[in-house]
Structures are given as structure tokens and as C-alpha cells.
């Protein structure tokens, strides 16, 4: 069946088991960057993202997953970011998003 392409996709539903995931790294990240907890998941950062415009990189998704303890592939994904800083200018919560990118890469380099 040919689906109509509206120019966006919807992520597949998935279950995250917070009891199974190891949240140690996630806690470390939130301790160093507490403001990340104020994220409302609005997706503005992703909507204007320079890298997201060219690839499937989804900044909000990656940092949300990392906070939930899903580290697999986060480093590689974050490496798509160009650190241009647009996301920081649009985030309604004033989160230091460039700092988040670098922090996640620093903490999850070995995943």
C-alpha cells in the first residue's frame, strides 16, 4: 500500500524499561547539566537543526533517550551535530544545548 508522504515521519512506538536500564551515566549527565531536566520536549531544537535538515539526526530524541538510559548509538548520532548553535537560540527553556551535545559525547564516548 502506498502511503502518502507528508514530509515527516513518525518514530516507531517503543517501550523503555527504566528498571533494566543503567541510569548511572544519565545521572552523571544530569548532575553536570541540571537544566536539561527542564526540557519540555517541544522539539524546537530539532526543527531548526542544521544537521537534522540534512540527515535523520534528531537532537531531541537523542538527548531524551540518553536521559532514559538508552545510550546505544548516542555518541555516533551526536557526532552528526555541527555545533552551530542554532538550537541554543531557539530553546524555550534556555538549555545550553551545545553544552549538552559536548557533555553527552564526553560521557558516552565508549558506548
Partner 1 sequence: MTFYAPFCLPFILGAALMFLIVAWKWGKWLWLLPHEDKMRILRGLPTRRTVAAIGEVVSESLLHRRIFRVNPLLGYMHMSLAFGWFLLILTGWIETVAHIGFRYVPLQGHVFFKYFATGLEHKPVFDFLMDLFLLFVLSGVALAWGKRFYSRAMGMHRTTKHVLGDRIALSALWFIFPARLLAESTTCALYGGGSFLTGSLGGWMAEHIGVMPLMTLESVAWWFYSSCLGLFFVALPFSRYMHIFTEIPLIFLRRYGVRSSEKESSYDRFQVEACSRCGICIDPCQLQSVLGINDVQSVYFLRDRRYGHLRLQVADNCLMCGRCVERCPVNIDLNTLRLNSRDRMRNVPDERRYGYFKGLDRSSGEGKVGYFAGCMTLLTPRTLTAMSTIFEAAGEEVWWADREGGVCCGRPLKLAGETDSARKMMKYNADLFRKHGITTLVTSCPICLKVFREDYDLPGVEVLHHSEYILRLIRAGRLTPERGTTRFTYHDPCELGRGSGIYDEPRAVIEAVGQLLEPASTRENALCCGSSVANTAISDGQQVQIARAVAGELEATGADVIVTACPLCKKAIGRGTKGEVRDLAEIVAGALK
Q: What is the dihedral of CA 100, 49, 66, 104, to 10 degrees?
A: -30
Out of 44, 95, 104, 108, the residue judged to bind partner 1 by CB under 8 A:
95
Q: Is 73 in the site for partner 1 (CB under 8 A)?
A: no
Out of 16, 40, 42, 89, the residue judged to bind partner 1 by CB under 8 A:
89
CA–CA gap between residue 87 and residue 12 (Å, rounded): 24
CB 100 within 8 A of CB 36: yes
**Contact residues for ligand SF4, defined by CB under 6 A:** 39-45, 49-52, 59-60, 81-87, 91-93, 95, 97-98, 101
Amino acid at each position: 500500500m502506498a502511503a502518502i508522504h507528508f514530509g515527516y515521519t513518525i518514530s516507531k512506538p517503543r517501550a523503555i524499561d527504566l528498571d533494566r536500564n543503567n541510569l548511572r551515566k544519565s545521572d552523571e549527565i544530569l548532575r553536570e547539566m541540571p537544566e536539561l531536566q527542564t526540557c519540555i520536549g517541544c522539539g524546537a531544537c530539532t526543527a531548526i537543526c542544521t544537521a537534522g535538515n540534512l540527515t535523520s539526526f534528531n537532537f531531541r530524541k537523542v538527548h531524551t533517550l540518553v536521559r532514559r538510559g538508552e545510550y546505544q548509538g548516542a555518541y555516533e548520532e551526536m557526532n552528526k551535530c555541527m555545533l552551530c548553535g542554532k538550537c541554543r537560540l531557539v530553546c524555550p527553556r534556555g538549555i545550553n544545548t551545545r553544552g549538552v551535545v559536548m557533555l553527552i559525547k564526553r560521557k558516552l564516548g565508549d558506548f
